[in-house]
Amino acid sequence: MRTTMQAIDTRRRALLKGAGAAALLAPGASALADTAAKAAADPWTRAEAIIGKFATPLAFPKRDYAITTFGAKPCAMSKARGFLDSEQGPTELLTPSPGSHDCHPAIRDAIAAASKAGGGRVVIPAGNWYCKGPIVLLSNVHVHLAANAQVCFSANPADYAKHGEYDCGANGKLSLSRWQGNDCLNYTPLVYAHNQRNIALTGEDWTSTLNGQGGVTFEDGSGDNWWAWSGKNATSPTARQGVVNPANAASLSALAPQLPEAELALIQGANPNWRSDEKFLPALSEARVAIGKRVFGKGHFLRPCMVEFVGCSDVLMRGYQVLASPFWLHHPVNCRNVHFSKVKMESMGPNSDGFDPESCETVLVDGCLFNTGDDCIAIKAGKGTDTQYGPTRDVVIQNSVMNSGHGAITLGSEMAAGIEHVYAQHLEIRNMHWASDPLGTAVRMKTNMNRGGYLRHFYVRDLVLPNGVRTKAGFYKPIEGGPIPPRTVSSGGGAVITIDCDYTPGFDNVRTRPPRVSDVHISDIRVSNVKTGDGAYSSYQAFVILGPVAHSYNGAAGAPVPPLTDISIRDCDFGTPRNADQPWFIHNVRGLTLTNVKIGERSHNATLSG
């Protein structure tokens, strides 16, 4: 079996970093100095330069390859019982009829033909198309869905363990993936690319649909559905990512014989559920086990992403709709020059993050609509020791609409390699489903003593919240015995702005990496109240700034636990929080500046520390 270390070219990453910096700034020394001076005077100058990188569209040879030419046939659709929302009961939905023609070979062959010819456009015409396997993009190939085209990916995990680069025996033929910040060999994502350049996935409009069928009962009778692997609406007590999987080693000692006994004990902890798939993978990272030995796939329960591109450059995703993703919807990893434009997301499953760029450089999100079961956008940068791809930097998010989700603009929680230079502007945090499925928070940053990392140079302006955010608290659950009592801080939802440096601290056994947060500047947020049964409110609290909690640290004694610094909020109207007696909460913060901040009937101009 080839090891994934062959697939990870850190030198290529370094070259991409250098190329990105050179392209972002002018090549001459005087031009470089001029750009730096402008950015110092106005940080949004850097955002304008990032946006300018995408002014010239990607180019592809003007050759079309219709999948029907390669044998694809549309399918009929039948009614079935399943889930459109993992928080609700089953309902009637449409799925490909039993015995539908499999279009996977035709799509694969059309992409191969376009690639062999030097590039071109693969066209998926109007109609419903059943696909029993992943769509794998190659360099210089543009896959385009026509209006009223819908690709329905099979609801059968085995179909995504047949086509990967790495033959892992009984676990299947798997692909290099990254699952919640950790590298592994796993099911191939439904749309995938690895180390490709100049690739595009587009639709004609929002009738062009990728349907992941996350809530559809598995076709082979092997279990409930993709979403049930999270534990939501599951009937199997064992087919879940969060319960002990006997396929995982009972001890890490054989996989990591170099580990001192004390470190091994810290990683494994006292709870046997460290052998659940969702905890065993990060344990392998903490133990520095080679990626080629982190084998999941068949017999395991780590759901694949809908769209995941790894190690790619010059990437376009534009103009289509995604329904019912098994897991995260879009996950570019270690990519450069990523344009995510005019995509509609309707996926109300567990962990249905809309767009999660991880360890990427130069990213533009523009004109998208998010209605998701988890964070709308979650910027990430690795977890544990998986930091080889470096930070995520130079991201602009603009002109988009957010409805349901945990956070609208989220940074973290997997951010071990750092996040910097992120700009969000001109957003409508619409929260249209506020009465039944409210958005948790508008601006959310989350990490903890395990995920560590840094966040710096984060700028937000011009956000409109016509329906506020969640008006009841999602309370922080501290490690017992700490300085903050339970059920007092709404870091899990209910604040318009949340910086949470002790996010779910009890999940991780290893808590030895204090995070660092600085240079966060937020302005011009306008929040309106909604009429609830007991009053008109905009939120539970205006903001929560929870710096690192020293009590959660379990590493070597004497490590500093730094406060959050250089944070400002100005020219904002937060409406009327439900918790009027405590409109904000701060902990381990030095110098939080409020300028012209209205909360209820009061305006605040102050510098806070605590």
Percentage of residues of the chain with pLDDT beyond 90: 93
More confident residue, 23 or 436: 436
For residue 313, which phi and psi values (nearest 5 degrees)? -130, 150
The pLDDT value given to residue 538: 98
| Mean confidence (pLDDT) of the chain | 94
The pLDDT value given to residue 30: 59
- The confidence band for 17, taking pLDDT boundaries of 50, 70 and 90, is very low
Of 8-12, 202-206, 250-254, least confident by mean pLDDT is 8-12
Could you give the strand order of the β-sheet that contains 191-194, starting from the edge strand earlier in sequence? 135-136, 191-194, 307-310, 330-333
- Whether residue 5 is predicted with pLDDT greater than 90 in this model: the reply is no
The pLDDT value given to residue 39: 67
- Whether residue 483 is predicted with pLDDT greater than 90 in this model: the reply is yes
> For the residues 547-572, what does the mean pLDDT come to?
96
Beta bridge partners of 263: none
Longest C-alpha distance within the chain, in Å?
A: 68
For residue 335, which phi and psi values (nearest 5 degrees)? -115, 160
The pLDDT value given to residue 31: 54
- Whether residue 12 is predicted with pLDDT greater than 90 in this model: the reply is no
What is the SS3 assignment for 49? helix
- Whether residue 29 is predicted with pLDDT greater than 60 in this model: the reply is no
DSSP string over 29-45: HHHHHHHHHHHHH-THH
User: Long-range pairs for 171-176 at CB < 8 Å and ≥24 separation?
Assistant: 171/295, 171/296, 171/297, 171/298, 171/299, 171/300, 172/297, 172/298, 174/295, 174/296, 174/297, 175/134, 176/4, 176/7, 176/8, 176/291, 176/310
Q: How far apart are CA 209 and CA 151, in angstroms?
A: 6
User: What pLDDT, in 10s, does the model give residues 414-457?
Assistant: 999 999 999 999 999 999 999 999 999 999 999 999 999 999 99
- The confidence band for 103, taking pLDDT boundaries of 50, 70 and 90, is very high
> For the residues 45-63, what does the mean pLDDT come to?
98
Q: How far is CA 54 from CA 50, 106, 377, 451, 540, in A?
A: 8, 32, 20, 32, 39
Q: How far apart are CA 54 and CA 51, in angstroms?
A: 6
Of 1-15, 24-38, 183-197, least confident by mean pLDDT is 1-15
> For the residues 566-584, what does the mean pLDDT come to?
97
> For the residues 570-597, what does the mean pLDDT come to?
97
C-beta neighbour count of 256 within 10 angstroms: 20
- Single out the residue of 103, 344, 373 nearest to residue 215, CA to CA: 373
What is the SS3 assignment for 281? helix
> For the residues 89-115, what does the mean pLDDT come to?
97
- Single out the residue of 487, 578, 597 nearest to residue 531, CA to CA: 578
User: What pLDDT, in 10s, does the model give residues 341-367?
Assistant: 999 999 999 999 999 999 999 999 999
Q: How far is CA 195 from CA 113, 278, 391, 494, in A?
A: 19, 26, 18, 40
The pLDDT value given to residue 602: 97
> For the residues 182-187, what does the mean pLDDT come to?
98
- The confidence band for 4, taking pLDDT boundaries of 50, 70 and 90, is very low
> For the residues 13-29, what does the mean pLDDT come to?
41
The pLDDT value given to residue 23: 41
- Whether residue 27 is predicted with pLDDT greater than 70 in this model: the reply is no
The pLDDT value given to residue 24: 41
> For the residues 546-561, what does the mean pLDDT come to?
95
The pLDDT value given to residue 117: 98
The pLDDT value given to residue 26: 46
- The confidence band for 215, taking pLDDT boundaries of 50, 70 and 90, is very high
> For the residues 96-122, what does the mean pLDDT come to?
98
- Single out the residue of 178, 169, 175 nearest to residue 136, CA to CA: 175
The pLDDT value given to residue 35: 58
* Burial 380-410, CB ≥16 within 10 A → b, else e: bbbbbbbbebbbbbbbbbbebbbbbbbbbbb
- The confidence band for 18, taking pLDDT boundaries of 50, 70 and 90, is very low
- Whether residue 1 is predicted with pLDDT greater than 70 in this model: the reply is no
> For the residues 108-132, what does the mean pLDDT come to?
98
Q: How far apart are CA 541 and CA 580, in angstroms?
A: 8
